[in-house]
Amino acid sequence: MAVTSKPSTSTSLRHETMLIDGAWTDGNAREAITVLNPGNRKPIASVPRGTAEDIDTAVKAATAAFPAWMRVPPRDRGRILTRIADVIEARVEELAKIIAEETGNAIKTQARPEAKGTAEIFRYFGGLASELKGETIPFGEHVLSYTRREPIGVVGAIIPWNAPVLLGSLKIAPALCAGNTLVLKAAEDAPLGILWVARICQEFLPKGVLNVITGYGPEAGAALSAHPGVRKLSFTGSTEVGKLVMKAASERIVPVSLELGGKSPSIVYPDANEDWVVDGIIAAMRFTRQSQSCTAGSRLFLHADIFDDFLNKLAAKASKLKIGNPLDEETDMGAIINEKQFRKVCGYVEDGLKQPGATLRFGGLPPKDGPLSEGFFAIPTLFAHDANDWRLAKEEIFGPVLVAIKWTDEQEAIRMANQTHYGLAGYVWTKDIGRALRTAHAIEAGWVQINQGLGQSPGHSYGGVKQSGIGREFSLEGMLDSFTIKKNVTINLATP
């Protein structure tokens, strides 16, 4: 969580600076943002409230660094990334603790896997540098026509707070591997982990290749989206802000990659009324990340034959998740990022409780006293309703509130699953492979999983359709499509 303060008022509070042109600095910022631990609402550190001038300085630094960086042989760029991966891997516990503290995500279930995943991302893209290959086009013996994968230039990247280090690394590693330079705007609620990663990167990178600005979205973020020196925009966050970024990009015809929200369906067939499926639904819903995930399978379509029995099993398992201090190794589920989000999630629960036709099957409003009331702790909650078109089934809650909807006819289940403007992920649960594949192919989403609910790994092209986004991340194709330009060179070989 972030609040604005004067920079030097609390002397004991750790202060982290921004990375601009190889230097650690407050830039032009006259105010600071205090980062709070969502688990106890206490300050952890402050960071500069970066300004439009800071963005401008950073873009100029990245522009100046670009010609030399693009000429570094790709393998050498890749080697730098793998060396960064080695250092992150060796210090993974340090990073896990920072992530848990600033995001409120439990160290055991989320923050440590995120820290490990970050090292993996640098290693994966480091190994892909030699794959920045072109093609030859067969125009006949008298012509040589080939393509080159060239970097685009200065990339402007904006990231959210829910998995800030992983999502930030998914922009830094492929963009730099492909020979671009970067200005990254960290999320105001969780900037510390990505600044820690940037410190490691800076030990290996020439100055100006990577710049990280802290600050608020409508200030620093908007300035980055609108900066004429930025040649590519890569954004992860809400659909609402994604539209603003796309609008800014359209002013200058700058290519844009958007990884936005979701309201992903999980379709459970009658043969899947089993414990491992219940575990899978909990994983797909990302309950252990307080469901603050755009991939969360937050609409549960359960076949009528198993509806009540499955929900009873789910209630029993969900109630066993241990909620509390994110840094405690026993904790499964931590805290919601900030007060605004916490109130928003509570608002959805209140709405559900008042909704005619909806029944609360487990969970509800968070406790008002006791240890959990000290932080922004929400509890796993499920409402059952026959309708698919009420507010909780339509809007992205970004909190642990699941809705269950009954179905009997497969086509009807698929129709309801697709009845959304989102299209990020989907989950299908059945042992009948024909049904599973038929359904997976019919779901309008960028990623459908069958009989598993967990996260993505490097190599798989991740991204959405409809209002869940444009472009793919996490893979070789993602790097090539998002961070390179395909240039064609054609040579007449028949000159006298």
Enumerate the active-site residues: 259, 294
Q: Which is nearer to ligand ADP, 128 or 397 (CB)?
A: 397
Q: Which is nearer to ligand ADP, 111 or 244 (CB)?
A: 244
- Is 57 an interacting residue with respect to ligand ADP (CB under 6 A)? no
- Is 246 an interacting residue with respect to ligand ADP (CB under 6 A)? no
Q: Which is nearer to ligand ADP, 236 or 449 (CB)?
A: 236
In 15-111, alpha helices (H): 52-71, 74-90, 92-103
Residue that the structure tokens 């439990």 belong to: 106
Q: Which is nearer to ligand ADP, 160 or 458 (CB)?
A: 160
Per-residue binding string, ligand ADP, 423-462, x by CB under 6 A, is ----------------------------------------
- For the segment 256-275, give every residue that binds ligand ADP (CB under 6 A): none
- Is 161 an interacting residue with respect to ligand ADP (CB under 6 A)? yes
- Is 291 an interacting residue with respect to ligand ADP (CB under 6 A)? no
- For the segment 131-160, give every residue that binds ligand ADP (CB under 6 A): 158-160
Q: What angle in degrees, to the nearest 10, is found between the helix axes of 92-103 and 74-90?
A: 80
- Is 193 an interacting residue with respect to ligand ADP (CB under 6 A)? no
Per-residue binding string, ligand ADP, 209-228, x by CB under 6 A, is -------xxx--xx--x---
DSSP letter (8 states) at residue 333: B
Residue with CB nearest ligand ADP?
217
The residue range among 91-99, 185-193, 348-356, 487-495 that interacts with ligand ADP, by the rule CB under 6 A, is 185-193
Residue that the structure tokens 């904006």 belong to: 158
CA distances from 437 to 299, 318, 434 (A): 19, 28, 5
Which of 237, 265, 400, 423 is in the footprint of ligand ADP by CB under 6 A? 237
SS3 at position 477:
helix
Report, in Å, the least distance between residue 212 CB and ligand ADP.
12
Burial of 390-412, coded b for 16+ CB within 10 Å and e otherwise, reads bebbbbbbbbbbbbbbbbeeeee
The answer to whether residues 56 and 223 touch, using CB atoms and an 8 Å cutoff, is yes
The answer to whether residues 174 and 478 touch, using CB atoms and an 8 Å cutoff, is yes
Report, in Å, the least distance between residue 399 CB and ligand ADP.
12
Q: What is the C-alpha separation between 322 and 324, in angstroms, rounded?
A: 7
Q: What is the C-alpha separation between 2 and 338, in angstroms, rounded?
A: 8
Report, in Å, the least distance between residue 329 CB and ligand ADP.
27
> How many residues make up the chain in this entry?
496
- For the segment 329-348, give every residue that binds ligand ADP (CB under 6 A): none
The residue range among 64-72, 236-244, 250-258, 283-291 that interacts with ligand ADP, by the rule CB under 6 A, is 236-244
CA distances from 396 to 96, 240, 310 (A): 27, 11, 24
Residue that the structure tokens 């992860």 belong to: 236
The answer to whether residues 179 and 148 touch, using CB atoms and an 8 Å cutoff, is no
DSSP string, 401-447: EEEEEEESSHHHHHHHHT-SS--SEEEEE-S-HHHHHHHHHHS-SSE
Report, in Å, the least distance between residue 236 CB and ligand ADP.
7
Residue that the structure tokens 């029995």 belong to: 309
Q: Which is nearer to ligand ADP, 24 or 216 (CB)?
A: 216
- Is 187 an interacting residue with respect to ligand ADP (CB under 6 A)? yes
- For the segment 369-428, give every residue that binds ligand ADP (CB under 6 A): none
Report, in Å, the least distance between residue 374 CB and ligand ADP.
23
DSSP letter (8 states) at residue 194: H
Q: Which is nearer to ligand ADP, 2 or 80 (CB)?
A: 2
Binding site for ligand ADP (CB under 6 A): 158-161, 185, 187-188, 216-218, 221-222, 225, 237-238, 241, 244-245
